[in-house]
Amino acid sequence: MIAAWGRQLVGLPRGFSFATHAVLRAVLGLSASAAEAIGERQGVLRSFYRLLLGPPVQGPRLSQEQVRALVAEAVRAVQIDVTLGVLTMRRLDGRFTWIAKTATKGSGLQVAVDDATGTLGPVERWGIR
């Protein structure tokens, strides 16, 4: 709150901090107006990148422990005595998807978990067998 009030008082852009302003003035020997101009350019570029690339990517909602618990329930429901211990996270169509697999080479079982809803895909076989 105080930083926002101070920025308004001095006339600095919203994303510009006092520390950056002071460093630009001290190290580069810039005047206050030149440091503010650089700060405004940085703010404009930051805004342009946000418009071009969209909002920053949020992390996954489910933790590894939550995914392991969901996968264990799915395996118990199918009555298969196996541990799906290898967890990988993929981003498919802008959504995070957890994939739990057995730690075997060549073939095994896998389950997909949608991170946004927590829904489980079917327990399916993969590989040669």
Mean pLDDT, rounded, for 18-37: 61
The pLDDT assigned to 60 comes to 86
Q: What is the mean pLDDT of the chain?
A: 75
> Rounded CA gap, 112 and 43, in Å?
41
Provide mean pLDDT across the span 25-37.
Answer: 63
**All domains of the chain in start order, with CATH:** 2-53 (no CATH), 64-127 (3.10.450)
Q: How many residues does the chain have?
A: 129
Residue written as token pair 């169509």: 93
- DSSP string covering 62-113, please? S-HHHHHHHHHHHHHHHT------EEEEEEETTEEEEEEE-S-SSEEEEEEE
What is the distance between the alpha carbons of residues 44 and 85, in angstroms, rounded to a whole number?
46
| Lowest-confidence region among 8-12, 59-63, 94-98 | 8-12
Q: Which residue has the higher pLDDT, 100 or 41?
A: 100
- Mean pLDDT on 79-96: 83
Token pair 């075997």 is found at 104
Are 102 and 88 in contact by the 8 Å Cβ rule? The answer is no
